[in-house]
Amino acid sequence: MKRLRVTPLNIASALVLAGLLWQIVDNAAGMGTIGWFFLLLLVMVIADQFFRLMLRNLKRVWIAEGIFLVFVALVVWLLRLW
């Protein structure tokens, strides 16, 4: 059995999933918002697998995924300002 490798995208995916479940239980989000949460979760899981296949070293995976998360957060922030 393989070792569990925790990465920044795993942590972010868990937080997004927890936020999604919170929104569903609290009935605070509509179906459109839930769909965007699922799309974000899917993109994060695919990106995590991509980084794991491209970079075998765990330290490099952490660096690449950390930079990816910062870049995505900046793009989302800039889109909200625009």
Q: How far, in Å, are 13, 48, 72 from residue 78 at the CA level?
A: 21, 23, 10
pLDDT tens readout for residues 4-63 = 788 999 999 999 889 888 888 887 767 777 788 888 889 888 999 999 899 888 888 999
Cα separation, 48 vs 32, whole angstroms: 24
Would the pTM count as exceeding 0.85?
Answer: no
In this prediction, residue 40 carries a pLDDT of 86
- Could you tell me which residues come within 8 angstroms of residue 4 by beta carbon, excluding any fewer than 6 positions away? none
Domain boundaries, the chain: 8-81
